[in-house]
Amino acid sequence: MTITPAQIQSASQALRSVLRFDYPADSVLSRYFRDMREIGARDRAFVAEAVYGVLRRKRTLERLCGPEASTRQLILAWLARIEGTTLRQLGEGLHGRDTDYFTEIKGREAGEMSLAESADLPDWLAERLLATMTPEEVVALAQSLNRPAPLDLRVNTLKLERDALVARLQADGIACAPGRFSPAAVRLEGKPALQKHPLFLDGSFEVQDEGSQLLGYLLQPKRGEMVADFCAGAGGKTLLLGALMRNTGRLYAFDVSDKRLSKLKPRMARSGLSNVHPVVIASENDPRVKRLAGKLDRVLVDAPCSGLGTLRRNPDLKWRQSPEALAELTVKQTAILASAARLVKPGGRLVYATCSLLPEENEAIVAAFLAANDSFAPLNAQEVLAKQGITIECGEQLHLTPRSHDTDGFFAAVLERKA
């Protein structure tokens, strides 16, 4: 594929906006493409790939290019050193200064790099990971996080069986296969546009990472139960829980963001679920939450977190997060878990989950909660899944990583309120 000067210029402009880190990279790119409507689909794909490529390998590229490198130089270095692009593929029209820089950077030595630079991580994050991993494990994990994520679907079992979805997609020329772990997962080989596919429009499937799907199976809601998705967001896990409940019982979708919850409503309509009740709350101590104290069979807490387990999809997060932000999050996580736990009735189940890889957001939060709440006891996550026919080595507390499971990075602890 020939890369044009216009593509490099567009990627450089977009990257300049993204590297301010004022907003998430995906929203900055969306705004850029809205403002630059003349850019065609092929050029947009190159811009997005280049921007995300630089975000993933930012430390390596800065080491090669120097701290004062322009965004244009970072794009050229990404093409030369990460993508292995040849001078011939750059096509006609690049001025001599670009071709000279491209040729020079292709042969430049990076020199001795620190662990954080080798892993393309900020120093503080590499140090946190080193507290529980060897340097080799940190680099291997970081390399797995630097690969683009595959596209996973979750079949809506109220409407379709997984094998039927696979057969239909394959008949439509979409290469896919059943997921390794989740009984509802389908993994696609490429990243086709599916927003207009008839089975998406009628709610027969949703896009959802396979690791995220396993959280619903850890909660294991049953028909007719009262259940809450405590931090529902746009409702991906809510829809799975509703399907597992076979559209019976009562399923609360709580969130503090009306904007996020509003995205759930059209998804509910497509899915055919009628047992979901979205509720915007002011905080974890909202009176509408307190009224349900001790009444719910199962509560899922997918807590707000650093999101560092999703770096395959959101590589900008490692540059946008900070130790200060992490400290604020752990305070919030502690409060949310304590509040959600009050809803669980004796004999009921509580699942605390994050898409983080850091112990202070995961094991430490759960350990502190159990120390302060002797009415709860941990269950073995691997055994909970095994009883549902899901074979996976994930530990007593669920630990998923792209390196070991080819999913996003997830943590979950399964807790039971003593009867």
Determine the angle formed by the axes of helices 25-35 and 5-18, rounding to 10 degrees.
130
CA angle 3, 8, 9 (to 5 degrees): 140
Determine the angle formed by the axes of helices 123-130 and 135-145, rounding to 10 degrees.
120
Residue 355 appears among annotated catalytic residues: yes
187: CB partners within 8 A, 6+ apart:
150, 151, 152, 153, 176, 177, 178, 179, 180, 210
Q: What is d(CA 358, CA 370) in angstroms, rounded to the nearest whole number? A: 18
42: CB partners within 8 A, 6+ apart:
none
Backbone angles phi, psi at 9, to 5 degrees: -65, -45
| Nearest by Cα to 145 from 182, 179, 119 | 119
Rg of the chain (C-alpha set): 23
Name the one residue in this structure whose structure tokens are 């309509």: 269
Q: What is d(CA 212, CA 29) in angstroms, rounded to the nearest whole number? A: 25
| β-bridge mates for residue 299, sequence order | 228, 350
Backbone angles phi, psi at 363, to 5 degrees: -55, -40
Name the one residue in this structure whose structure tokens are 């159990």: 370
Q: What is d(CA 175, CA 189) in angstroms, rounded to the nearest whole number? A: 6
Identify the active-site residue in 65, 231, 305, 355: 355
Q: Residue 27 CA to chain centroid, in angstroms?
A: 15
Locate 9 and state its tokens.
């210029």
Backbone angles phi, psi at 227, to 5 degrees: -135, 150
63: CB partners within 8 A, 6+ apart:
110, 111, 113, 117
Instruction: Provide the annotated active-site residues.
Output: 355
